[in-house]
Amino acid sequence: MKTFQLVRAGVSAALTIWLIQCKSNQPVAMDTKQTMQESKDYIGMWITADGYIRHNLLPGNRYDEARGKRESAYRGSYKVTGNHIDYKDDTGFTADGDFRDGILYHAGMVLYKQQ
């Protein structure tokens, strides 16, 4: 009997909160995951585990890639659509990649966001 009363009280409280949110025109929080495009979490430095390849994804859709001791080995523009990234370097070469679970998979490489 006590379990039923507790469940009933919980349901009643949840309904009350829902009604208050509806009446105040406040959005009901939903558990949704933003894409990288929406969150802009892609901006920053992405590096391979050995640190050899480093992609600096800059605000304004430009990138600067370093390889080993060679800084600015490649530069160009990028576009993020959803969780996909398209690169075009300043010579016209194109490549792409995908963000999955906070990791960038690009041209056979795995890059991690530097914190």
DSSP 67-79: ETTEEEEEEEEEE
* Number of Cβ atoms within 10 Å of the Cβ of 98: 13
User: What is the reported pLDDT for 30?
Assistant: 41
Q: Taking a C-beta distance cutoff of 8 angstroms, is the pair 69, 82 a contact?
A: no
Structure confidence at residue 55 (pLDDT)? 97
Tokens 């949704």, located at residue: 32
Mean pLDDT by 10 residues, the chain (115 residues): 43 41 45 80 96 97 97 97 96 97 96 94
44-48 and 103-106 beta bridge pairing: unpaired
- pLDDT of 71 reads 97
Helix segments in the chain, DSSP class H:
2-23, 36-39
What pLDDT does residue 6 have? 37
Q: What is the pTM of this model?
A: 0.70
- Number of helices and strands in the chain (H, E): 2, 8
